[in-house]
Amino acid sequence: MSYRRTKAILVKELHHITRDRRSLMMALAMPVMMLLLYGYALSLDVDHIRTLIYDQDGTEASRSLMRQFQGSRYFEVAGFVNDYRAIERGIDTNTILVGIAIPRDFGKDLRSGIGATVQILVDGSDSNTAAIAMGYAESVVQRYSADVRADIQNRRTGRRPAPPIDARMRVWYNSSLESKNYVVPGLIAVILMIIAGQLTSLTIAREWDMGTMEQIMSTPLRPTEIVLGKMLAYFVVGLTDAAIALVVGVAVFGVPFRGSIWVLAVSTCLFLFGALFWGVFISAAARNQVAAFQLGMLTTFLPGFLLSGFVFALDTMPKAIQVISVIVPARYFVTVVKDVFLKGLGFKMIWAELVFLALYAAIVFLLAVQKMNQKVA
């Protein structure tokens, strides 16, 4: 392999990239647009749950329970109704998610000590959100029940009982429990996977469509030099995209960055090598730009979003899908980026993921060179 010939391909490809200014601007603007779109639109937080309350009791006890829901940051009381039909209509029209029905003898049952009941009506169309909302509602009711029990004990004995267990929670790495701190780092990894694959998936297919590949083949260039030269040109664009995504994630979304910039840089380089080589392999294997683009989207966008653990937990997927996800590089890079951003981990803790990314890059590079050899032959 000749360094001089590889550099010639690199310079040629850089000239091609800079001449097509519209495509270059789109490649640089795409991370910002996707981060802003998905970062603001994709939220896993379940709060401000719109709620209607049907108070059939009208006593101080029922009003005290209503104040518990009004004071919770997880619930937004949209109003008070006088029948079940209003709650049903609100759920049917998607204006509320939860309805709270307090029975007529709620206060009386509390005073008698036999135990009172509260009905919680939840729209179960989205099972995940409904389960979270039910958990929040049950915690509000249980907290109110504990306060009532303590008041009764206080009236009987003159002192409030101490809880048998004092749970003191400490949240590590994402103490504010904001989903953007979890979503944005993973989103950066997925966006780089998509963009890197798309950048190089058309490079060789375009040469065949334009008829310039025959001219390249008539030179002393070897397949290894062609693959490396084209990859390195887009590697510069990929690194720029990564830097832009990092700045947007930290400056715009306020995601904490607790790790080392050098650890993130090395990890990003290894990941970009593999993603860009995969794009070159697709471009060499496809017969035209349309097929290369479609194959690039199919092998980067869908695995990046669905099989990387970015949104959907891999542990809950069927075993067959979990096995397929093992060969998805975005799965490992998503883990690395989240660990570096939120946990501040170094090479000692993420070496296994980095080894896989390095092996993946080497294997895909060899496949791309082999495919180029077949094309040249």
Q: Are 153 and 161 in contact (CB under 8 A)?
A: yes
Hey, which residues does 102 pair with through a beta bridge?
55
Q: What share of the chain is helix, strand, coil (3-state, %, to 5)?
A: 70, 5, 25
Q: Which domains does the chain have, with CATH numbers?
A: 3-43+178-376 (no CATH), 49-157 (3.40.1710.10)
Residue with tokens 């391909």: 9
Nearest partner of 343 among 264, 245, 247, 259, judged by Cα: 259
Copy the structure tokens of residue 2: 């000749």
Sheet holding 119-122, edge to edge: 75-81, 49-55, 98-102, 119-122
3-state DSSP call for residue 49? Answer: strand
pTM, rounded to two decimals: 0.78
3-state DSSP call for residue 173? Answer: coil
Distance CA 39, CA 230 (A): 31
Question: For the segment 308-335, what is each residue's pLDDT rounded down to a tens digit?
Answer: 887 777 887 888 888 888 888 989 999 9
* DSSP letters spanning 320-372: HHHHHHTT-HHHHHHHHHHIIIII---HHHHHHHHHHHHHHHHHHHHHHHHHH
Please give the pLDDT value at position 161.
Answer: 63
- Would you give the end-to-end CA distance of the chain in angstroms? 18
Tens of each residue's pLDDT in the chain, 377 residues: 677 778 777 887 787 777 877 777 877 888 888 888 877 777 767 778 899 999 998 888 888 889 989 888 889 998 899 989 999 999 998 899 999 999 888 888 877 767 788 899 999 888 878 888 898 888 888 888 887 777 767 766 666 666 666 677 777 887 777 778 888 888 888 888 888 877 777 777 676 666 666 666 666 677 787 788 888 888 888 898 899 889 988 888 888 899 899 999 999 999 999 988 888 888 888 767 778 888 888 888 888 888 888 777 788 788 888 888 888 898 999 999 989 998 889 899 899 999 999 999 999 999 988 887 765 55
